[in-house]
């Protein structure tokens, strides 16, 4: 990281380096050094930079460091993005076990956030594997927590709305194609109505792609 001259995503890279150090049990000084290295490279107009900076600041401010759930969810999320679904599901199983231990959650808000984060990645993993029925089981659970999830983690709801729309469209024609199209359209609209959350530019890109698929489906199933 220090030798790289490329500044793009360097802030997020330092944040993830700190996460990796923590998971590997490296000295706390190394973790803190990585987290403190985020700020100089954070760019205001880059979603990943802003997210990494916020999370790094939270870590440095907290005396407890990462919650056990985060140390399992972060790898699951990144494995989802890299399409390593079996490994992703292994981490998600650990997330589920942590959620099931009530002693891990003195704060109801924290548990709510973590539940939404879990449901999104579990549903998105199912969707990307082509397990549409499981996707339609888990993604609505995340979506149903809209309004309960804190601002910091509300991006997972926006992601879930688009993923759910994609799942509906993938199930076409189904028994009732018009109903699936209606559900997909409603989900896309709800995602577009969301404001002020992390990774909104990523959601905008996914929304445009989903809207194109929706338009094709509407022509096919008039």
State pLDDT tens for residues 139-166.
999 999 999 999 999 999 999 999 999 9
- C-alpha 114/C-alpha 122 separation (Å) is 12
Angle between helices 68-81 and 108-128 (to 10 degrees): 20
Q: Which helix (H) or strand (E) holds 105?
A: none
Please state the domain extents for the chain.
Answer: 10-61, 68-220
Contacts of 196 (CB under 8 A, 6+ apart): 151
Do residues 148 and 166 make contact, with C-beta atoms less than 8 angstroms apart? no
Residue 2: band (very low, low, confident or very high) from pLDDT cuts 50, 70, 90: low
Residue 1: band (very low, low, confident or very high) from pLDDT cuts 50, 70, 90: low
Residue 65: band (very low, low, confident or very high) from pLDDT cuts 50, 70, 90: confident
Indicate the burial class of 44 (C-beta count within 10 angstroms; 0-12, 13-18, 19 or more): exposed
pLDDT over threshold 90, residue 4: no
Q: Note the Cα 23 to chain centre separation in Å.
A: 19
Enter the DSSP assignment of 67.
Answer: -
Please tell me the CATH code under which domain 68-220 is placed.
1.25.40
- Residue among 196, 191, 198 at smallest CA distance from 214: 191
Mean per-residue pLDDT for 73-97?
Answer: 94
C-beta atoms surrounding 110 within 10 Å: 15
Q: Note the Cα 120 to chain centre separation in Å.
A: 7
Residue 3: band (very low, low, confident or very high) from pLDDT cuts 50, 70, 90: low
- List Cα–Cα distances, 60 to 41, 57, 79, 86, 104, in angstroms: 17, 5, 25, 32, 21
- C-alpha 49/C-alpha 114 separation (Å) is 22
């Amino acid at each position: 990281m220090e030798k790289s001259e490329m500044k793009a995503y360097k802030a997020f890279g330092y944040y993830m380096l700190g996460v990796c150090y923590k998971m590997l049990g490296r000295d706390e000084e190394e973790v803190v050094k990585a987290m403190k290295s985020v700020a100089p490279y954070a760019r205001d107009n880059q979603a990943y930079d802003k997210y990494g900076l916020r999370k790094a600041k939270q870590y440095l401010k907290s005396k407890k460091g990462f919650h056990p759930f985060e140390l399992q969810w972060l790898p699951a999320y990144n494995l989802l993005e890299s399409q390593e679904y079996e490994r992703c599901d292994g981490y998600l199983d650990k997330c589920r076990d942590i959620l099931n231990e009530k002693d891990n959650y003195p704060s109801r808000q924290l548990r709510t956030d973590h539940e939404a984060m879990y449901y999104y990645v579990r549903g998105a993993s199912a969707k990307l594997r082509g397990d549409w029925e499981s996707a339609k089981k888990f993604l609505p659970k995340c979506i149903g927590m809209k309004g309960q999830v804190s601002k910091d983690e509300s991006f997972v709801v926006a992601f879930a709305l688009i993923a759910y729309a994609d799942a509906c469209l993938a199930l076409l024609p189904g028994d009732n194609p018009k109903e699936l199209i209606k559900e997909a359209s409603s989900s896309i609209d709800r995602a577009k109505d969301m404001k002020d959350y992390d990774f909104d530019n990523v959601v905008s890109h996914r929304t445009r792609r989903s809207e194109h698929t929706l338009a094709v489906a509407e022509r096919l199933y008039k």
